[in-house]
Amino acid sequence: MWSRFSVLVTRQGLMVSPWAMIRSIQIVLGFLTGIKTTIRPIPDLDEIGRSAWAFPVVGALMGILLLVAHSLIGDHFPGAVRALLIVIVWVVVTGGLHLDGWTDCWDSLAASVPQERRREILKDSRLGAYGALGLVLLLALKVAAVADPEFPLAALVLAPVAGRAMMVIASYGSRHGETGMAAVFISGLDPRSVKWAWIIVLAVALPAGIIGFVAVGCAYLGAVGFKRFAESRLGMVNGDVIGAMCELSETVVLLVFCVRW
C-alpha cells in the first residue's frame, strides 16, 4: 500500500517511502536530542549520515518546542528570567550534547601546544579554563539575545534549524580521522542531504524575510570558518567540532536578529 505513496525523484534516482522518512526523523531525533526513540533495527553511524537530511527537521521540532515554552512562560517572569528559562529548556532538550563539544573544542583549540597534544586534550572529558569561559560566554549571549524586548519569535525556530543544517552543510567533505564517529558520519553524507538541508533551512528563514536569509548566511560563514580553523589546528574534524559548529551557528542567528539595522 505504501508503495503508492512513495516519492520518486527521477533526476536524482532517489526513492523514499514515508516509512523511511519517518525512520530517518526518529533516528536523528534520538541522535541529536535527549529524547529516546525505540528503533528496530538499531541504526549504525553510516545510516545516521544517510539520514542527515532530517537534521534541520529535528531542529524545527525543537524550535516549535521553544515557542511552546515561550508561550507557557508568557509574561509571568521578567524578560531576563524568561530568556534564561527558555535557554534552559533548549539545553535540556539537547541534553547538552553540543555544548560538550563546544567546551572540548575550546579547551583544545585555544591551547598553545602541538597538534597531537591538542587532539589528546580534545579527548579529555575534563572541563578546562578555556572551555569553561567559552561555555559561559556562549550561554550568556544566547540569554541576552532572547531577552531583547524586540527579539522576534521566528528566530527561536530558525536558530535550532540553522544549527543542525550547518552540521550537515559545513561537515560535508571535511577532513576527518580514519576511525571514529565523525569519520563514519561524514563518509555517510551525500550531496542530496546537503541540498535538502539548504532547502529546509531557507524555507524556515523565508517568513522572517531578508534578515532571516542574512542570519542563515552568517551562520554558514561562521560554521565554515570554525571548521577551517579546527582543521588548521587539529588537522581534522571530529564529533566535538561538528557539535561546536551547531552551537556557534545557533548563536550567530540569534545575534543577527538582535542587530539594529
* Cα→Cα distances 88→46, 81, 83, 139, 215, Å: 31, 10, 9, 10, 23
| Residue position matching grid coordinates 548563536 | 251
Q: Determine if the peptide bond prior to 149 is cis (ω within 30°).
A: no
Spatial contact of 109 and 234, defined as CB atoms under 8 Å apart: yes
**What confidence tens digit (pLDDT) does each residue in 132-189 have?**
999 999 999 999 999 998 899 999 999 999 999 999 999 987 777 666 677 778 877 8
**What confidence tens digit (pLDDT) does each residue in 193-252 have?**
899 999 999 999 999 999 999 999 999 999 999 999 999 988 888 889 999 999 999 999
Tell if the pTM clears 0.75, that is, is over it. yes
**What confidence tens digit (pLDDT) does each residue in 74-126 have?**
888 898 999 999 999 999 998 888 999 999 999 999 888 888 898 888 888 88
At residue 238, the pLDDT reads 87
The cell for 72 is 507557557
